[in-house]
Amino acid sequence: MVLTFIDHVDGTPNEASLQALTLARGLARQLGTELHAIAIGSGADAIGSSIAPYGVSTVHHVADEQLEAYAPEAWGSSIAQLASANGPEAVIGPGTERGQEVLAHAAAELDQPMAANCVEVTPGEPVHVVRHQWGSSLLEEARLKGDPPMLTVPPHALGAQAADAPGDAQLATFEPAIEERRLRVRVSDVETTQTEGVSLKEAEVVVGGGRGVGSEDGFRILEELANELGGAVGGSRVATNNGWRPHDDQIGLTGTKIAPQLYIAAGISGAVQHMVGCKGAKHVLAINTDDESTMVQKADWAILGDLHEIVPAITEEVRKAKG
């Protein structure tokens, strides 16, 4: 079997996990083996129906009250123990913060290497992988020696595709033996920031603002446009560092990776650390005074001029079009 770790919230897997399952299914097919999943934490036992369409034949539900809340080392230990007991041909996870952390712990316990952010995997000894490096700005070919090979898949690099035929996703309970020391780090409390409307990660339209916006107040016109388009507002690091937007709104290497249908980048130059966060956008509209800025050069469309005039004008046109 190829075993895939599912990152989820209360039984709802995130998109990155479905993308990891898609890559894992391709590998399982090449190896002529089954696709299994492992789900840990609150709501994990309800995950089957969401991942069955991706061809999962068995879902290993880790049943342990101590692991209901996120505990990276202990979760990793559960995966390591399941792998030791079942001898999977590969262990795969999503390249989310949790996916990377949990798989790294599992690999350390198994004393195996882990390759992060792989977009291609070809079976063999050693396994051949192609992976994202430098914030997805270059592709590296590597040979992965591991028993089992362990790897993660970067979010939004591949699409999530359902299988031709769904799997049974039969629930199998797994009870790991968790040592107390593995629970040194665990989530004790969760504080959620109240975001109105659609989240930046999942938004189909994102309106991003950078230094050109000029102030916290300046973001109002971006919010108005995002509201009209049913989208979310984000920003460059300049916008978050200046306190114009909360850190959660940062797009980029050290922020959120977005994958909307349309990214409207207003007053953002297009530094590499920003571009790696928005490279998943299907289309980009740049609004900038500088026709030589990277964002303008790389965008599908650009409007040259002052965003303080252009953004409200677009909002107005959208309102008119909506009647």
Min dist. Cβ of residue 152 to ligand FAD (A)? 20
Q: Is 136 near ligand FAD (CB under 6 A)?
A: no
Q: Is 236 near ligand FAD (CB under 6 A)?
A: yes
Question: Residues 37-76 vs ligand FAD: string with x where CB under 6 A?
Answer: ----------------------------------------
- Using CB under 6 A, pick the residue from 4, 136, 152, 269 that binds ligand FAD: 269
Q: Is 268 near ligand FAD (CB under 6 A)?
A: yes
Q: Is 271 near ligand FAD (CB under 6 A)?
A: yes
Min dist. Cβ of residue 15 to ligand FAD (A)? 20
Q: Alpha helix (H) ranges present in the chain?
A: 15-31, 48-51, 72-86, 97-110, 220-229, 237-241, 272-278, 294-298, 307-322
Q: How far apart are CA 234 and CA 171, in angstroms?
A: 39
Neighbours of 86 (CB within 10 A): 16
From residue 32, give the alpha-carbon distance in Å to each of 1, 2, 123, 147: 9, 10, 11, 18
Q: Are 18 and 49 in contact (CB under 8 A)?
A: no
Q: Are 257 and 156 in contact (CB under 8 A)?
A: yes
Give the residue with the Cβ less far from ligand FAD, 116 or 238. Answer: 238
Min dist. Cβ of residue 246 to ligand FAD (A)? 14
Q: Is 227 near ligand FAD (CB under 6 A)?
A: no
Helix, strand, coil: what percent of the chain each, to 5?
A: 35, 25, 40
Q: What one-letter code names the amino acid at 247? A: H
Question: Residues 289-318 vs ligand FAD: string with x where CB under 6 A?
Answer: xx--x------------xxx----------
Q: Is 201 near ligand FAD (CB under 6 A)?
A: no
Q: Are 222 and 266 in contact (CB under 8 A)?
A: yes
Q: Can you spell out the DSSP letters for 252-308?
A: STTSB----SEEEEES----HHHHHHHTT-SEEEEEES-TTSHHHHHSSEEEES-HH
Closest by CA to 57, choosing from 163, 184, 196, 182, is 163
Give the residue with the Cβ less far from ligand FAD, 186 or 211. Answer: 211
Count of residues in contact with ligand FAD, rule CB under 6 A: 27
Q: Is 212 near ligand FAD (CB under 6 A)?
A: yes
Pick the stretch among 30-38, 79-87, 138-146, 248-256 that binds ligand FAD (CB under 6 A). Answer: 248-256
Task: Summarize as ranges the residues that interact with ligand FAD (CB under 6 A).
Answer: 210-212, 236-238, 250-255, 267-269, 271, 273-274, 277, 287-290, 293, 306-308
